[in-house]
Amino acid sequence: QKARFTLDPAFTVGEVNPRLFGSFVEHLGRCVYTGIFEPDHPTADEAGLRQDVLDLVKELGVTAIRYPGGNFVSGYKWEDSVGPVEDRPRRLDLAWRSTETNRFGLSEYIAFLKKIGPQAEPMMALNLGTRGVAEALELQEYANHPAGTALSDLRAAHGDKDPFGIKIWCLGNEMDGPWQTGHKTAEEYGRVAAETARAMRQIDPGVELVACGSSSQSMPTFAAWEATVLEETYDLVDYISLHAYYQPEEGDLDSFLASAVDMESFIENVVATADHIGAKLKSKKKINLSFDEWNVWYMSKWHEIENSGARDWAEAPRLLEDNYSVMDAVVFGSLLIALLRHADRVTVACLAQLVNVIAPIMTEPGGPAWRQTTFFPFAQAARYGRGQVLDVRVDSPTYETRKYGETDLLHATAVRAEDGTVTVFAVNRSRTDALPLEVALDALGLTRVVEHSALADADPDARNTLDDPERVAPHTVDGTTLRDGTLSAALEPLSWNVIRLA
Ligand code: AHR
């Protein structure tokens, strides 16, 4: 049985915002220390940044990088992270039960972004757990005010004459989660988020602000949380956040492969909730979505470590260092497709995280850096997923899943670049069978297949590791054709596919 869809330039979803290819650097485990920053590493530059990692970050194509947490931010004192390194205090990091040395801080983060290049943009999270309006304003003044005030002059005295120009700010992190330091009810959080936003706009009306939504669609307060928070903040914020992580549960791989069904429904439910509040408030404004944490994460493994008491106040311990398989990368690719399919409202998204911690890039202290399987779908989507997302409605054979019922075997989207070329991103969820695909695209005026690249393997459990860092990589698929306005391809079992057409 074939899967089919039609592409027509007249039917689009919306323009992809480059911020859809954002990522996330948290002071967690080895994301910062021995991840991006390792002064003693043979490839480190004068600032202590690992050049081998920087090269991979550039190749990955990330844009906005959220910082410094995550759960870490809810205990973060930004003042600790600036000024002479030797004067910076060591602190307890309650979120990850680690010791934070503050050797890497705000100025180093901005320098890291500059070295990535102009596509990299700061996205700063504020501590609304243990702190509030005053500290947010102080950080904003320190970071963004040009000169002539105590905090902007302090920044200059610290060696950063030019303001950092941080445009997009997260008003706290996962404030709905009981695990969050300073966790709040929706009413409590909505109030502090509104007042922080109002005050920040007094400094700069042009800041872009993200209110915390739910930590996952399965939170007991989901949707009611968003509604209450947005009632308080609707006119003051630009985005509501979403976080989602997926892993197989009880060995149910078929449902795991369909994780994007949950992600898409999460997005659609948040859009519905936000628009409901907009309608109630008789507002013309639309709130967009910042999917600022998403990934495959074997969270159950983490909970085992968490409960074992084995991580007491270490510096940069090995935490959340998931090693991803081909199957994980296929699910990951499908999550990327879900984001692209909703590019009209999801205008920011951050892959959590960038290095070592549930990350596409891994490192060894003093040793090499390498690409995980998930590196490839991200890099390809960030490179070719630029332009207008075309409306894709698939007619696909289905399979039965425990969690989501009858589910399409094909998950797909297509993006049309400014020059008229089109890239189809497609996942075959079948663990056993190839999926023949036919796309009618006469209206696009395309004539040839530039490349069909696939990530698939006879062993879906294959991974890249320190010992075998290049075991998995995408390969070129032969036999894909474009004739008389019809694209024909065979998608290998359990595969992520990128088909470029010109
Ligand atoms: O990305 C890891 C953690 O997941 C973040 O710190 C937190 O926001 C989320 O629960």
Q: Is the pLDDT of residue 310 over 60?
A: no
pLDDT at 340: 98
Q: How far is the CA of 374 from the centre of ligand 1 (A)?
A: 18
Whether residue 369 sits in one domain with residue 279: yes
Alpha-carbon dihedral angle through residues 235, 241, 242, 245, given to the nearest 10 degrees: -170
Nearest-angstrom CA–CA distance, 206 and 169? 11
Residue 96: is it exposed, middle or buried by C-beta count within 10 angstroms (0-12/13-18/19+)?
Answer: buried
Both 319 and 461 in a single domain?
Answer: no
**Contact partners, residue 119, CB within 8 Å, separation at least 6:** 18, 61, 62, 63
Same domain, 114 and 257: yes
Ligand 1 pocket residue status of 93, Cβ below 6 Å: no
293 lines ligand 1 (CB under 6 A): yes
Same structural domain, 340 and 403: no
Cα-trace Rg, the chain: 22
User: What does the pLDDT look like over 117-132, one tens digit per residue?
Assistant: 999 999 999 999 999 9
Q: Tell me the best of 126, 128, 174 to mutate to test the pocket of ligand 1, counting ligand atoms within 8 Å of each CB and taking the most.
A: 174
| Residue 240, strand partner residues | 211, 289
Q: What is the pLDDT of residue 301?
A: 81
Is any ligand 1 atom within 6 A of the Cβ of residue 23? no
Question: Of the candidates 332, 366, 384, which is a domain's last residue?
Answer: 384
Q: Are strands 405-408 and 410-416 parallel, antiparallel or unpaired?
A: unpaired
Per residue in 428-462, pLDDT tens?
Answer: 999 999 999 999 999 999 999 999 999 999 999 99
Place of tokens 């425990």: 402
Nearest residue to 184 via CA among 234, 129, 121, 252:
129
Number of the ligand 1 atom closest to the C-alpha atom of 295: 1
- Report the separation in Å between the CA atom of 451 and the middle of ligand 1, taken as the mean of its atom positions: 36
Nearest CA to ligand 1 atom 7: 70
Q: Quote the number of domains for the chain.
A: 2
Are the beta carbons of 3 and 397 closer than 8 angstroms?
A: yes
Residue nearest to atom 8 of ligand 1 (CA): 70
Instruction: Please indicate, yes or no, whether residues 353 and 440 belong to a single structural domain of this protein.
Output: no
d(CA 180, ligand 1 centre) in Å: 10
**Interatomic CA distance for residues 136 and 143, integer angstroms:** 11
Whether 174 is catalytic is yes
Q: Of all atoms in ligand 1, which is nearest to the CA of residue 173? A: 8
Domain with residue 252: its CATH number is 3.20.20.80
Annotated catalytic, 293? yes
Does the C-beta of 353 come closer than 6 Å to ligand 1?
yes
Cβ–ligand 1 contact at 71 (below 6 Å): yes
Q: Which of 243, 297, 303 to mutate to test the pocket of ligand 1 (most atoms within 8 A of CB)?
A: 243
Does residue 377 share a domain with residue 238? yes
Say whether both 54 and 108 belong to one domain: yes
| Torsions phi, psi for 428 (to 5 deg) | -100, 115
For a pLDDT cut of 70, what percent of the chain falls above it?
A: 99
Q: Are residues 252 and 371 in the same domain?
A: yes
Please write the tens of the pLDDT for every residue from 147-198: 999 999 999 999 999 999 999 999 999 999 999 999 999 999 999 999 999 9
CB 174 less than 6 A from any atom of ligand 1:
yes
Q: Which of 25, 26, 217 to mutate to test the pocket of ligand 1 (most atoms within 8 A of CB)?
A: 26
Helix, strand counts (H, E) of the chain: 11, 26
Q: Over 398-446, what HEC string results?
A: EEEECCCEEEECEEEEEEECCCCCEEEEEEECCCCCCEEEEEECHHHCC
Residue 308 predicted with pLDDT over 70: no
Q: Return phi, psi of residue 193, to 5°.
A: -65, -40
Inform me whether the pLDDT recorded for 56 exceeds 70: yes
Residue with CA nearest ligand 1 atom 4: 70
- Neighbour order of strands in the sheet with 486-491: 3-6, 435-440, 486-491, 481-483
If one residue of 71, 127, 180, 245 were mutated to test the ligand 1 pocket, choosing by the most ligand atoms within 8 A of its CB, it would be 71
Closest CA to 273 of 336, 199, 211, 337: 211
Q: Which pLDDT score, from 0 to 100, does residue 309 have? A: 61
Q: With bands split at pLDDT 50, 70 and 90, how would you rate the model's confidence at 347?
A: very high
Residue 475: other Cβ atoms inside 10 A:
13
CATH number at residue 451: 2.60.40.1180
Domain boundary among 384, 414, 432: 384
DSSP 273: H
- Average pLDDT of the chain, as a whole number: 97
Backbone angles phi, psi at 394, to 5 degrees: -85, 145
From the alpha carbon of 174, which atom of ligand 1 is closest?
Answer: 8
Work out the percent of the chain whose per-residue pLDDT is above 90: 97
Ligand 1 pocket residue status of 173, Cβ below 6 Å:
yes
Last residue of a domain, one of 358, 384, 410: 384
Regarding whether 453 and 324 lie in a shared domain, the answer is no
69 in ligand 1 pocket by Cβ < 6 Å? yes
Domain of 475 in residue numbering reads as: 3-9+391-501
Tens of pLDDT, residues 263-304: 999 999 999 999 999 999 999 999 999 999 999 999 988 877
221 within 8 A of 204, measured Cβ to Cβ: no
| Atom number of ligand 1 nearest to Cα 293 | 1
Q: Which of 26, 108, 174, 232 is catalytic?
A: 174
Note the pLDDT tens digit of each residue in 60-77: 999 999 999 999 999 999
> pLDDT-based confidence at 307, cuts 50/70/90?
low
Peptide bond into 119 cis (omega under 30): no
The pair of structure tokens assigned to 499 is 């088909």
pLDDT at residue 304 in the model: 73
Q: Does residue 160 share a domain with residue 128?
A: yes
373 and 397 assigned to the same domain: no
Q: How far is the CA of 58 from the centre of ligand 1 (A)?
A: 23
Same domain? 249 vs 358? yes
Ligand 1 geometric centre to CA of 70 (Å)? 5
Segment 217-223 mean pLDDT: 98
CB-ligand 1 contact for 352 (6 Å cutoff): yes
Q: Which protein residue's CA is at the shortest distance from atom 5 of ligand 1?
A: 70
* Interface predicted TM-score of the whole assembly (ipTM), two decimals: 0.99
Of 291, 278, 282, 284, give the one whose Cα is nearest residue 342.
Answer: 291
**Nearest CA to 439 among 474, 387, 478, 491?**
491
